[in-house]
Amino acid sequence: MQLSNRLIKWLISGPPLVFLLIFFVAPSLIMIVTSFRLPGEFGGLVPLNIFAERSGIDSGLTLETYQFFLSDWIYLEIFLKSFVIATLTTIICIAMAYPLALLIANSPRKFRNLMIMLVVLPFASNFLIRVYAWMIILGPESTLSHVINHILGVLDFEPITLLFSPFAVLIGMVYVHLPFMILPLYTNLEKHDPILLDAAQDLGANRWQRFWSVTWPLSLPGIFSGSALVFIPVLGMFAIPDILGGTGDIMIGNLIKDQFLGTRDWPFGSTLSIMLTIAVLGVTVFFTWLARSVMRSP
């Protein structure tokens, strides 16, 4: 009996496990190996020669790429810049998603599904097309630009350009990732037991106190998972800075893309990708630790 149970477990979890092994672990390993190899003179890689010492040919393996990465502040600067954008996006998403998720969770049950459907609705059209739409909204000849610059003109300020700026990048990021914050938050808030709030009210807590000492701490797991879902994709994003950014809005994703499609430097592209993966893992570990310690303390 027990044996067949175990067998069934393996049969069920086997296929996804194999899938992940083949399509996640193997490419990651290839990437790690590539980062230690030499770029070919005309693109691609120099062939490997593990037993080079005897034959006197170059082994094709090197630490040079990592040295190149670390020899210079500029790449760390781009990492830092991407982190700042990802953090800002996450904070804005929390601030915008929280009231909305709360509203949906407190609505009558029959409306909730409709509202959730409306949140998910933008996914029905392609993400690039939605970002291109922002190009039109923010463009120099758009109504929005005219209105803003008119008001600025009245107040005696210099006119501004919305498109091709860090501001446009941030708007695009928030717009695309907002649903990923709303959904986990809603799932969390919906499960809160209303009796807790009633009890707090009976004990004399006002609206504000009820929120801060009951709802907010209970919703932290939702915020943490939402933050992970927003922060990590934003960190590696390259399409939005490409479309909406100006002459200076480069992120780590753009840099990686450029190594493969522009410079034909696969080892350096791989090194940058590994650094990004390490950074993302670091952030995940930090969030998990934070979530655990916050949840344990009160």
* Smallest gap from residue 278 Cβ to another protein (A): 20
* Cβ within 8 Å of residue 271, ≥6 positions away: 35, 65, 66, 69
Cα 78 versus chain centre, distance? 16
CB 105 within 8 A of CB 189: yes
Cβ closer to another protein: 38 or 279?
Answer: 38
Nearest CA to 252 among 29, 10, 39, 77? Answer: 77
Cβ closer to another protein: 250 or 291?
Answer: 250
Cβ closer to another protein: 59 or 201?
Answer: 59
Cβ closer to another protein: 142 or 215?
Answer: 142
CB 45 within 8 A of CB 34: yes
* Smallest gap from residue 151 Cβ to another protein (A): 20
* Smallest gap from residue 248 Cβ to another protein (A): 6
CB 169 within 8 A of CB 85: yes
Residue 223: CB atoms within 10 Å: 23
* Smallest gap from residue 255 Cβ to another protein (A): 6
Cβ closer to another protein: 238 or 287?
Answer: 238
For another protein, the binding residues (CB under 8 A) are: 38-44, 68, 72, 74-75, 77-78, 81, 126, 128, 140-141, 161, 164, 238-239, 242-243, 246-248, 250, 254-255, 257-265, 268
Cβ closer to another protein: 130 or 264?
Answer: 264
Nearest CA to 34 among 258, 252, 262, 264? Answer: 264
Cβ closer to another protein: 78 or 137?
Answer: 78
* Smallest gap from residue 19 Cβ to another protein (A): 22
**Token digits for 12?**
């069920």
56's torsion region: left (phi>0), alpha (psi -120 to 50) or beta?
Answer: left
* Cβ within 8 Å of residue 200, ≥6 positions away: 209, 210, 213, 214
CB 135 within 8 A of CB 243: yes
C-alpha distance from residue 105 to each of 110, 176, 217 (Å): 11, 22, 16
Cβ closer to another protein: 72 or 198?
Answer: 72
C-alpha distance from residue 18 to each of 4, 33, 262 (Å): 20, 21, 34
* Smallest gap from residue 242 Cβ to another protein (A): 6
* Smallest gap from residue 292 Cβ to another protein (A): 37
* Smallest gap from residue 18 Cβ to another protein (A): 24
